[in-house]
């Protein structure tokens, strides 16, 4: 089975409106993407990515998540020791969702409860957004959860306000 690709995101409109609790629209951007892969870690990029995943797995071990959003962190750590890395061409530090794509990929692979993005309800989206905010806060200090949500769903997401989002 091929590894799923997680696309970057573009905030189409609402960058400053969202700060003021107004609407925004974000879209998946398929030019940039990332996926979890295994290798012998022969390149510097793969080694750095693997080391970053190891540090992130330690953070995940200490994180309390709701029961229906728990991750199999032990399997994640085992895979890291077996050469797991995040293969991505998403630029870091430009706001296009590099950490969001990583969080989405890890959630997809290691979530104990498997979900189909096509059948997720509006209420489930709200819960996912909160959980993704916790998962992504490792990288940014705090996170709204929007970036991993758009990367995970791979669908346009309407940001109605700080609390509510919906599929478009």
- Give the pLDDT confidence of 30-81 residue by residue, as tens digits: 899 999 999 999 999 999 999 999 999 999 999 999 999 999 999 999 999 9
**Dihedral of alpha carbons 31, 22, 155, 123, sign:** positive
Mean of the per-residue pLDDT values of the chain: 89
Q: What is the mean pLDDT of residues 143-151?
A: 90
pLDDT at 154: 92
pLDDT at 6: 85
What is the distance between the alpha carbons of residues 18 and 161, in angstroms, rounded to a whole number? Answer: 7
In terms of pLDDT, which residue wins out, 104 or 8?
104
What is the distance between the alpha carbons of residues 33 and 102, in angstroms, rounded to a whole number? Answer: 10
Residue 100 has pLDDT above 70, yes or no: yes
Residue 140 has pLDDT above 90, yes or no: no
């Amino acid at each position: 089975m091929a590894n799923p690709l997680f696309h970057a995101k573009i905030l189409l409109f609402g960058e400053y409106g969202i700060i003021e609790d107004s609407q925004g629209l974000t879209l998946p951007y398929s030019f940039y993407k990332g996926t979890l892969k295994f290798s012998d870690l022969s390149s510097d990029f793969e080694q750095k990515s693997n080391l970053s995943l190891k540090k992130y797995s330690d953070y995940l071990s200490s994180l309390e998540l709701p029961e229906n959003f728990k991750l199999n962190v032990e399997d994640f750590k085992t895979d890291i020791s077996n050469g797991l890395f995040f293969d991505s061409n998403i630029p870091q530090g430009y706001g296009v969702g590099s950490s969001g794509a990583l969080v989405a990929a890890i959630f997809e692979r290691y979530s104990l409860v498997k979900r189909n993005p096509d059948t997720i309800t509006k209420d489930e989206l709200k819960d996912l957004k909160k959980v993704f905010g916790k998962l992504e806060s490792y990288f940014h200090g705090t996170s709204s959860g929007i970036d991993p949500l758009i990367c995970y769903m791979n669908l346009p997401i309407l940001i109605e306000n700080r609390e509510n989002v919906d599929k478009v």
